[in-house]
Amino acid sequence: MTPSNVQPSADEVRHITVDGAYQVYTRRVGHGPIKLLLLHGGPGCTHEYFESFAEFLSPDEYTFYYYDQLGSFYSDQPDDTSLWTVERFREEVEQVRSALGLESFYLFGNSWGGMLGIEYALKYQSHLKGLIVSNMTASIASYTEYINELRGQMAPAQVAVMKAHEAAGTLDDPEYQELLTKLYNQHICRVVPWPEPVQRMFGHLAQSVYNTMQGPNEFLVTGNFKDWNRWEDLHRIHVPTLLSVGRHDTMRPADIEEMGRRMPNSRVSICEEGSHLSMWDDQDTYFTALKTFLSDVEAGHFTPPSE
């Protein structure tokens, strides 16, 4: 029998008990000394769209953990919407960290995972060596304001059609879905057709989690995290932090730059060709910035840019 405190071998899948009742999926990739725990977006997505990381992070240098949050495709999916809250997911991350035995590690979060990373750092940053907030601003209000600006760049007749369907609740109408897909191809992932892991991830989206917390789609936020706002708390995060955004993102690049000014030990990377999934549509810029950040922190000479 393998002792419970032995770390899983490379590429080993391990299911971790959270809340004393449920199992969540983790998978260890690589065996290097630099350790990262990856928080996927959604809420309710999967780790699958992070498969690009294996192409850029050498297994000899890095160990990273895929992790599907509760409710997601590879983890338990309890039929209890009261579980889908920011606070409970934050505590779930801490349970996963503890079970994996991670200390002085890097927490990476993309989109909703970036929000979750901010929440985790505000409470548990003593465990962190660094934080990567990828494609996420500091409040949902900032996000919704900007995505409506982006939609406003469409033809007025198209915007009117989308709003009419939203008012009528006919979001499954092909007319609405066609316009939504157009926006997604500009601001979610600009590689068209979408890479297979991205398509697979969206095919596995946990609708209950997503609808409860986010709402019906990326451009209509009505879920229970709609009032989330951490602008005034960012100064409390003092671990080295990388803030990454795509120029064509659903997050306003100027907001991410402002986050960098408010966080005392942070660096901002803008993927000029990228959108919300810059790890796919501006890979060289995205992963160069990530690896440079990790290398600088590891070497002990990470410094934020001067004003």
Would you name the residues annotated as active-site residues? 111, 249, 276
* Residues 276, 188 contacting (CB under 8 angstroms): yes
* Residues 273, 247 contacting (CB under 8 angstroms): yes
Task: Give the residue carrying structure tokens 């498969």.
Answer: 51
* Residues 147, 250 contacting (CB under 8 angstroms): yes
Six-digit token pair at 298? Answer: 């590891």
Distance CA(112)–CA(40), nearest Å, equals 7
Using CA atoms, how far residue 42 sits from 34, 116, 203, 210, 243, in Å, is 26, 11, 12, 6, 18
Q: Which of helix, strand or coil describes residue 3?
A: coil
* Residues 116, 93 contacting (CB under 8 angstroms): yes
Neighbouring residues of 277: CB distance < 8 A, sequence distance ≥ 6? 49, 110, 135, 188, 189, 198, 246
Measured CA angle at 194 (ends 188, 196), to 5 deg: 130
* Residues 249, 135 contacting (CB under 8 angstroms): yes
Using CA atoms, how far residue 276 sits from 87, 147, 186, 253, in Å, is 24, 12, 9, 11
